[in-house]
Structure 1
């Protein structure tokens, strides 16, 4: 199998269409986790927000959305399109998010994730530790509620 090139770049509001398409591909609508375009655009306008886009051989493969403020950051969204899962795209995005947080003197990175989301393996491998739980946080299209787990990664001082 040929090596495929993963490329990362900073994104902005002009990339909203790419983000929409990646969310539609990556997030199962049963769980109610995807954001609307207006939610994404609203967050992108806030200070400290970074959008990072991943492509594989020039094809959009994933993205991360983070917000850093006052020495802390939150991974708001991480999406990898199904054909690119377990190919290193998620790991490349996470490594870049952590490096970017360190460059911004962030000492702790937080995230929340549906309790049975496969991305938990990536987060744990990155060093995140579970710090809490939110019962019934997500509401799916069928009205069913899903728990969220909160995780943190201590980055220490830089």
Structure 2
């Protein structure tokens, strides 16, 4: 891990060793009533796959956010992005998203994709960073009480 000044945000590549920290961030960031969070098994299963990248945002050594992405040829998908609630609106999400875009572009991706629950405040983050709504998946997410929520598919050409 690189050294940074106290309070400075560091976004760095993560690994399976970061899974506990990733799960802690995910559990705090995702409201279970919407059904958006992944399980530990899902995260552990995808990490070793080719083209998958985990980025962890840290402040003072503590994980405050993460992103999980995969790239195949010239397409990349942001699978997950999460920020601890006590660091919301502190540009952690922006830093992770901008790092995703820059890294994928450098790796040769030209088409970036993501899905997000309609109504999720992160939609504004994506729009502010150049993503556009490309479609809607009706009843894509299933909440813990059985409620269904639409997903927006968003894209960015880089």
Please give the TM-score of this superposition, normalised by the length of structure 1: 0.94
Alignment-derived partner of residue 135 in structure 1: 138
Q: Calculate the aligned-residue CA RMSD, in Å.
A: 1.0
What is the deviation of 1:45? 1.4
Please give the secondary structure, in 2, of the residue aligned with 1:133.
strand
Q: Distance in 2 between matches of 1:4 and 1:126?
A: 24
User: Superposed, which structure 2 residues align to 1:114-133 within 5 Å?
Assistant: 114-133=117-136
What is the deviation of 1:57? 2.4
Alignment-derived partner of residue 147 in structure 1: 150
Please give the TM-score of this superposition, normalised by the length of structure 2: 0.94
Runs of 4+ in 1 over 4 A off after TM superposition: none
Cα displacement string for residues 78-137 of structure 1 (whole angstroms, at most 9, x for unaligned residues) = 001101111010111011111101110100110000000000111001100000100100
What is the deviation of 1:4? 3.1
Q: Which runs of 5+ in 2 are unaligned?
A: 1-5
Q: 70, 74, 81: which one pairs with 2:73?
A: 70
Q: Which runs of 5+ in 1 are unaligned?
A: none
Conserved 8 A contact 2:131-2:154: yes
Q: Distance in 1 between matches of 2:44 and 2:137?
A: 26
Q: How many residues align?
A: 153
